[in-house]
Structure 1
């Protein structure tokens, strides 16, 4: 151990105290031994260090910080160096605000378009997500502090996120849901990892020895600290055994006492705690070094704003450009319509919300952009309320213009942490506006602002479509530079856009509503499904247009990689993202038709050409074999493809690859859906054959008493009348608030109360409600009102005495 001498001087109580937070954002300190508290702060796309009362949902304002494009936006840049640059600037700001651990990036897979936190995640592809995350981590940690990659693992829905049990087969887990984390740990060398709220195959992730010990520690050799998501600790001792060092937030010593008791009664050995303390001390001391000498306590806000703008410009995607309507011709008369032009939609909601240092809005930038704006109308109510008068005014303005710039998208309360979206549609009042505008002026360019996939049945009514995603505080100016032609768009989609939500492979299996969610589609998420099952999409993975054109030629495939020539054949300078896909030509083991195995972003001047090489790596030909329980290579011919998107393959060749000689892992006759790739409907028997075990019952057992891991929503089945009444009042409050337009408050009820497990009442209150007090609450819920009330009051008095030190 690195700090054995120091650990030997610590009491058992002091060691245990380091395993949970001092408060909502800080770790415990031990002043007599020179061990200081360190500060953890949210920050996947900007620092959220709260100046006032702490909370986890982004309710209270934080210190001003640069709001960079969200991960969903930055992923469209396909630029590892840009991700590292953003990480670098995030690290500078974290140091200026004296933050030791920056809680990000988030790299969960986009399994389903409606997952409420998709705006915080990079991609549906683990290779792309992992590479960008590794770059960002390197940039953050270059300043001596720690990144904290999250949420480990398979956290792919917000509904019931703290207790939902994710049922997934081992191969899918390894290839799809853990590969990005593997890259973040091995290549990014992240110093900390955040465990997820959910369960995985029946065990809470932070207690799951398989992913925490077997894979993270033993296989990937991770030496850093694992932090719980806030309130995500279930059984503290089981979490410690699995290797989860730090529980956040603090519980006023309650879980520390559980650890001490477990050591005293022999449940765990003190050596296990010592190892966890050693890793914790390493995080504390290494991230404190930067503050031991003079450091910059402020940053250049204008410089950071400029970097945020550059990142946005590289990440915005041009999806449609009929009749070359873009870039806008000089002097063309443009009507600007849509409230998002006046008040930008630039980030998501929840724990990642940033208080920007400054904020660009489109309306304020038109004069500087050189675009001739003849007028502005909001056209719609931001939160979906119909308004015929607003539409009428917008139509009148559109009739006077040569081109209409229509700013559309999703509002802040539709995309928020803690809630999954109800559908994949743009609000109807915006579509009604588009329909009305089209009748008077067909020259419409839509600027779309949202952090996740939407359906576009209206796309035939627009000539231009520029997807800004959630492009941060400087995104509005970045959009104007692309519209005017000052910047040539170079972003490409990091996720597939289906024609209808129902076309997605997880449609029938999302979200898990009661006990569990079944990943029956297996490997076939996103483009892996659409491409293999030959399902048409609106826009394919990797797609994006430019104001210039690129030609691919001269492919050469070797044992170490593939080379080709890329030529800018247009009349503008531009950047092209060339993508390497690999497909195995054998059908002995089911696989997607193509999988991304490399990419490169190349800047070329008009007429310039360049020889480009994309190297193979350890992930190019591998698959996870469930019989040998390790990564193997199948001996076969492989198609090696270079494309402008997954559906636009420009060059192709074949390479024979020697295998590792592993036995075939599957019985083909038992898995027909998986061998066809058509996994949008998989019978339970076939899914069980893939899992190698029975699928657990996915519905609540309404006959048993409610316990720690049951949610407040389950009070509808409680034996206690008071609990049932509380549920009805809660449901009415949610309905009433939505009906009266207070959707953000209604969302808060769902996020922080409705889907909260009972244990969260204790874990998220910083020790104000102890677990024994919670036992009393559960007695009341389960129909023993007087017994429960007496128990609650008795335990409350005990807690008060222990807090004040009175006997």
Structure 2
């Protein structure tokens, strides 16, 4: 045994020494390259040369850096100097489910597969930076961009983002985690100044970014549009110099969001590395000179030449950019990638299957037996509307998108499927709303007619990726469903009681008809394999196992951000204050005892589970200990299925206000019918700490803590009491 341990030690030592040698070699190469660069060449590397690329140095063989929007697929090629599609015929991609769906899987192993597959597609398309994933926290259900993020809980987002990054970067493509930080609404995103406590910043909004840097070893970060404490995020001294590059030791590249740079001196001194999308010249007076007018181009050149800024400041940026290049386009060993493979479609379908959440299933309405049902009325525009096209920068040109209607038709081929549009959202247009020209009454009457002829009705509703819905650029205007869907559902139920609603959205919505329908399924934006995955769940071919990554409030005012005045949301046009502080999502609901419609972590199955015999390895722990919790879980139903065991922590007596419970561990467990197993989860005792803004550091107080073992934030099955000394 000792010999084996010694061998392992030697191998580890050799591996560590090799890594150090590689890093030293890279650093030496970077230092030699910088010595050969002119000041103008250095500055050219620090800003865009086109919509999605920055310059290399041709005379030295240093390549350009090419970027692409993500994070759900590799965006179609964009023209050099405008936002039109370049018109390529070989840039169709696999569209993966939106990240709300990925978060709903509660499955980090799937997150790795997601990252690996999308990284392969980015590599095949010769991209060096993939702009994603997004980990901004779900603060309000009105945020138009929530579908791109990983929910309301910082622990869940942290655990899901790390394997995604690893998967992407294995392909020699840099993940670019965004939007750093507090870009939690689209309304006024380009200028709103966010004020919040240090506790809220460190406990809620920074953890996923910190995990991306320290555990994910991410190679690039994208700065946000908004301001924080009076300074824009992309050149914010506190957020970038102090936290990101100081405390966290981030060694990658900070890239602006497009057009998020506002000041030359701040950009130079406050840590910005690559400036993209600036409209300084508007690309109107001279295409030849446009990019030279960026803040970090000629204006910065003049400041250096005058001695106002040291050239060494630029050298540090170039050093980071070259390091990124050695990891990506100057790494001769990186793989070639692949595009639109069956493996990628299978990954997309698997993520969609595991992310779909069954919210209601009265009298076991689901699954629907394909051999017994005779007539299915599929009602709703979302049954046929392509969801990959809208949404802003996440729009995709996918090789195929199986609609829900097509998926249902193929799986229930023995049934008569009749479809009516029911409602119309109008054409998709980024940045504006175009009203539908179709007659709403005619659409409604046609839907009611087919509802009366069917055995069951499946209403495909929700939101879509048009402006003022789930779309970049602005927020939703209302919490309710648009285009008269609520009234239509109520009318349909009067005609046919066997009605279920399939929600397609990236956000929680108001559900006034919750007691009227037999079933509700939350299906997200599922990408290329959407229809197949939905049919897999509806038919029972796959047992649903998704869990909500955010709370569904009964009404908008029950959400923390909306329970205060307008300064809390959306702000007064200049400033915004996060008045709910650390009580975001379920933390608010549970601490304030405001019952949600559907809780964080909630999701039904076609089978049943029993959790029992929970115990911890000890009853007393010190700061550096690992708390190990085990429990028995049994599939007590008749179907194979998966359950997510969730452990929340309650600080019994604290010197400061703490949430009633906080997620600290989870594990997805797949069991055959009747199968039972023991599950073990671990929590570092130091993770029970809170951020003490009086000392600007984490503080773990002595005392008792409850470990709450359950299957959602509201469904706690077992409770353990431990002590921290």
Give TM-score, length-normalised by structure 2: 0.87
Counterpart of 2:408 in structure 1 is 366
Which one of 566, 574, 593 corresponds to residue 515 of structure 1? 574
Matches within 5 A, 1:673-712: none
Matched, 1:241 2:300: no
8 A Cα contact 1:346 1:475, kept in partner: no
Matched, 1:639 2:679: no
Counterpart of 2:418 in structure 1 is 375
* Range moving further from structure 2, 128-137 or 552-561: 552-561
Deviations, residues 268-321 of structure 1 (Å, cap 9, x unaligned): 32222211111111112321145x469546524333222211110000000000
For the residues of structure 2 that align with 1:15 and 1:564, how far apart are their CA atoms?
58
Shift of 1:625: 1.0
8 A Cα contact 1:193 1:227, kept in partner: yes
Counterpart of 1:33 in structure 2 is 60
Matched, 1:444 2:503: no
> SS in structure 1 opposite 2:416?
strand
8 A Cα contact 1:174 1:624, kept in partner: yes
> SS in structure 2 opposite 1:582?
strand
8 A Cα contact 2:389 2:397, kept in partner: no
Matched, 1:253 2:292: yes
Shift of 1:542: 0.4
> SS in structure 2 opposite 1:541?
coil
Matched, 1:547 2:606: yes
For the residues of structure 1 that align with 2:382 and 2:250, how far apart are their CA atoms?
44
* Range moving further from structure 2, 527-536 or 302-311: 302-311
For the residues of structure 2 that align with 1:416 and 1:138, how far apart are their CA atoms?
28
8 A Cα contact 1:37 1:284, kept in partner: no
Matches within 5 A, 1:663-682: none
Counterpart of 1:583 in structure 2 is 650
Shift of 1:609: 1.2
For the residues of structure 2 that align with 1:283 and 1:46, how far apart are their CA atoms?
22
Counterpart of 1:169 in structure 2 is 197
Which one of 511, 527, 531 corresponds to residue 456 of structure 1? 511
Deviations, residues 228-282 of structure 1 (Å, cap 9, x unaligned): 1111111122122111111113752233222223223333322222111111111
- Number of positions where the alignment pairs a residue of Structure 1 with one of Structure 2: 657
> SS in structure 1 opposite 2:484?
helix
> SS in structure 2 opposite 1:537?
coil
Matched, 1:280 2:325: no
Matched, 1:424 2:452: no
Shift of 1:433: 1.8
8 A Cα contact 1:496 1:527, kept in partner: yes
Shift of 1:467: 0.8
> CA separation of 1:390/1:37 partners in 2, compared to 1, >3 Å: closer, same or farther?
same
Deviations, residues 372-405 of structure 1 (Å, cap 9, x unaligned): 2342222222348662222222222222222111
> CA separation of 1:389/1:59 partners in 2, compared to 1, >3 Å: closer, same or farther?
farther
Which one of 632, 653, 668 corresponds to residue 601 of structure 1? 668
Counterpart of 1:186 in structure 2 is 214
Counterpart of 1:326 in structure 2 is 366
> SS in structure 2 opposite 1:498?
coil
> CA separation of 1:446/1:91 partners in 2, compared to 1, >3 Å: closer, same or farther?
same
8 A Cα contact 2:131 2:175, kept in partner: yes
Matched, 1:141 2:169: yes
> SS in structure 2 opposite 1:39?
strand
* Range moving further from structure 2, 593-602 or 502-511: 502-511
Shift of 1:32: 1.5
Shift of 1:54: 5.4
Shift of 1:84: 0.8
8 A Cα contact 1:345 1:449, kept in partner: no
Matched, 1:264 2:305: yes
Counterpart of 2:77 in structure 1 is 50
* Range moving further from structure 2, 100-109 or 271-280: 271-280
For the residues of structure 2 that align with 1:368 and 1:488, how far apart are their CA atoms?
19
Shift of 1:510: 0.9
Matches within 5 A, 1:47-86: 47-52=74-79, 55=82, 63-86=91-114
Counterpart of 1:562 in structure 2 is 629
Counterpart of 1:762 in structure 2 is none
Shift of 1:610: 1.4
Give TM-score, length-normalised by structure 1: 0.79
For the residues of structure 1 that align with 2:204 and 2:83, how far apart are their CA atoms?
28
Pick the structure with more helix per residue: 1
8 A Cα contact 2:424 2:483, kept in partner: no
> SS in structure 1 opposite 2:400?
coil
8 A Cα contact 2:93 2:339, kept in partner: no
Which one of 113, 125, 130 corresponds to residue 97 of structure 1? 125
8 A Cα contact 1:625 1:631, kept in partner: yes
> SS in structure 1 opposite 2:53?
coil
Counterpart of 1:527 in structure 2 is 586
Shift of 1:428: 4.5
For the residues of structure 2 that align with 1:121 and 1:297, how far apart are their CA atoms?
25
Matches within 5 A, 1:336-347: 336-345=378-387
For the residues of structure 2 that align with 1:618 and 1:557, how far apart are their CA atoms?
12
8 A Cα contact 1:408 1:448, kept in partner: yes
Counterpart of 1:303 in structure 2 is 343
Shift of 1:65: 0.7
* Range moving further from structure 2, 592-601 or 241-250: 241-250
Counterpart of 1:7 in structure 2 is 34
Shift of 1:186: 1.1
For the residues of structure 2 that align with 1:59 and 1:412, how far apart are their CA atoms?
22
8 A Cα contact 1:377 1:394, kept in partner: yes
Counterpart of 1:156 in structure 2 is 184
For the residues of structure 2 that align with 1:85 and 1:213, how far apart are their CA atoms?
33
Shift of 1:79: 0.7
For the residues of structure 1 that align with 2:633 and 2:380, how far apart are their CA atoms?
39
For the residues of structure 2 that align with 1:88 and 1:298, how far apart are their CA atoms?
11
For the residues of structure 2 that align with 1:59 and 1:594, how far apart are their CA atoms?
50
For the residues of structure 2 that align with 1:52 and 1:16, how far apart are their CA atoms?
23
Unmatched segments (≥5 aa) in structure 1: 659-807
> CA separation of 1:363/1:626 partners in 2, compared to 1, >3 Å: closer, same or farther?
closer
For the residues of structure 2 that align with 1:603 and 1:238, how far apart are their CA atoms?
51
CA RMSD of aligned residues (A): 2.0
8 A Cα contact 1:344 1:476, kept in partner: no
> CA separation of 1:489/1:199 partners in 2, compared to 1, >3 Å: closer, same or farther?
same
Counterpart of 1:196 in structure 2 is 224
Deviations, residues 745-780 of structure 1 (Å, cap 9, x unaligned): xxxxxxxxxxxxxxxxxxxxxxxxxxxxxxxxxxxx
Shift of 1:618: 6.5
Which one of 695, 704, 708 corresponds to residue 628 of structure 1? 695
Matched, 1:390 2:432: no
Deviations, residues 66-98 of structure 1 (Å, cap 9, x unaligned): 110001111110111101101000010001100
Counterpart of 1:474 in structure 2 is 529
Shift of 1:472: 1.2
8 A Cα contact 2:51 2:80, kept in partner: no
For the residues of structure 2 that align with 1:452 and 1:88, how far apart are their CA atoms?
26
8 A Cα contact 2:79 2:86, kept in partner: no
Shift of 1:432: 2.2
For the residues of structure 1 that align with 2:648 and 2:275, how far apart are their CA atoms?
41
